[in-house]
Amino acid sequence: MSGCRTGGLRRRLAWVAAAVAGLAALPHSAAAGTAAGFVPPAESQMPGGSRGRLIRLGEQLFVHSSALRGKYVGNGLSCNDCHLGRGRHADAAPMWAAYAAYPASLGPAQRADRLAGRIQACFVFSMNGTAPPKHSRAVRALVAYARWLATGAPAGVSLPGRGYPNLPPPSAGPDPARGKKVYADKCAICHGRDGAGQRAGTAIVFPPLWGKDSFNWGGGMHRIDTAAAFIKANMPLGQPNSLSDRQAWDVAAYMDRHERPQDPRYAGDLEDTRRSFHDHDCLYGRSVDGRRLGAHASGKPYDPWQLR
């Protein structure tokens, strides 16, 4: 029974982490197109020894997160899919900026602990899996990698290039019907007409944007504003800022009209989950084409720790 209690505690901790996560996932407010001044260390500067091995493992898990599939990862995504360039690329939620933002007053151990909690939340939401323990090798490796990327960065500073550049919404609101056309013209070639992504052998090359293999309704990217900001600054790959603001918003709104794995905080009442956790720009719990998004797991007791 103590296991249940521990589970409950872990769950509560996770929601605290998730609350922090929600804040961190907000697009930052710096002007779009800001050149990031910070440059993470080159790969050749990676230290040796056991710390180097841990950092290297962190980088590998970051890029090939499917290595943890079935254990901590419950979908077809990798960290690298949203944090482009192995977590280095400015305006694509770089890991050096995420770490730098934790207050200096906390001290290195507390700052690392905050980041570890944030990474756990990523596993629960964006990776639609379960949180590896804070002191697991997986979390320690990912933290070590992020901290190494932030070598030389000031503490407690929101560095230029953090998150995704905030994108003001179109005055009339986004139009998913226009977004559908943007998707067909610009996105489907890689992500597939059904949003399921594409593979080469068993390796997922183009990440699934919705459906069972994508991030769940708690993942930061399910927010239309966050997705629009990411898309504008980074998509199509290799053509950043090529879509108009309007196109980015429209296609983000279109993406949000599709079903995805349940929000792990769902406890049986969709409206309740929406009220408690979705007071932001998203379609969770809303009716789309006569069906309520997120209603697919109704009536089923949900254990976020066994979400697959």
Partner 1 sequence: MVAQRLALTLVLVWLGAGAAAAADVANGRQIVLHGNGHGATPCVACHGADGAGIADVAYPRLAGQQAAYLRKQLHDFRNGLRNSEVMQLFAKALSGAEIRDVAAYYAAQPAHGTHEIADRALIGAGRQLAERSDWDRNLPPCFSCHGPRGVGVGGDFPLLAGQHAQYIEKQLLAWKRGTRDNDPDQLMKTVAQRLGEPDIKGVAAYFASLNPAPAQRITLNDSRPAGGPR
* Residue among 88, 147, 162, 223 that touches partner 1 (CB under 8 A): 88
Would you say 194 or 303 has its CB closer to partner 1?
194
* Residue among 84, 131, 141, 224 that touches partner 1 (CB under 8 A): 84
Would you say 27 or 76 has its CB closer to partner 1?
76
> Residue for token digits 């997986």?
138
The least distance separating partner 1 from the CB of residue 45, rounded to whole angstroms, comes to 14
The tokens for 200 are 């080469």
Position 199 contacts partner 1 (CB under 8 A): yes
* Residue among 16, 19, 104, 203 that touches partner 1 (CB under 8 A): 203
* Residue among 9, 19, 104, 205 that touches partner 1 (CB under 8 A): 205
Tell me how many residues contact partner 1 (CB under 8 A).
30
Position 198 contacts partner 1 (CB under 8 A): yes
- Strand 203-206 and strand 198-200: the pairing is antiparallel
Position 43 contacts partner 1 (CB under 8 A): yes
- Binding to partner 1 by CB under 8 A, coded x per residue (else -) over 158-197, reads ---------------------------xx-xxx-xxx-xx
The least distance separating partner 1 from the CB of residue 14, rounded to whole angstroms, comes to 31
Position 200 contacts partner 1 (CB under 8 A): yes
> Using CB under 8 A, which residues numbered 96 to 155 contact partner 1?
none
The least distance separating partner 1 from the CB of residue 184, rounded to whole angstroms, comes to 10
The least distance separating partner 1 from the CB of residue 155, rounded to whole angstroms, comes to 24
Determine how many CB atoms are found less than 10 A away from the CB of residue 10: 16
Would you say 109 or 200 has its CB closer to partner 1?
200
The least distance separating partner 1 from the CB of residue 1, rounded to whole angstroms, comes to 44
Rounded CA-CA distance 17/30 in Å is: 24
> Using CB under 8 A, which residues numbered 219 to 278 contact partner 1?
236-240
The least distance separating partner 1 from the CB of residue 205, rounded to whole angstroms, comes to 5
Would you say 44 or 50 has its CB closer to partner 1?
44
> Residue for token digits 């013209």?
185
Determine how many CB atoms are found less than 10 A away from the CB of residue 65: 26
Would you say 12 or 199 has its CB closer to partner 1?
199
Rounded CA-CA distance 304/302 in Å is: 6
* Residue among 125, 206, 210, 277 that touches partner 1 (CB under 8 A): 206
Contact 189, 95 (CB under 8 A): no
Q: Using CB under 8 A as the criterion, which residues of the chain lie in contact with partner 1 when the complex forms?
A: 43, 84-86, 88-89, 92, 185-186, 188-190, 192-194, 196-203, 205-206, 236-240
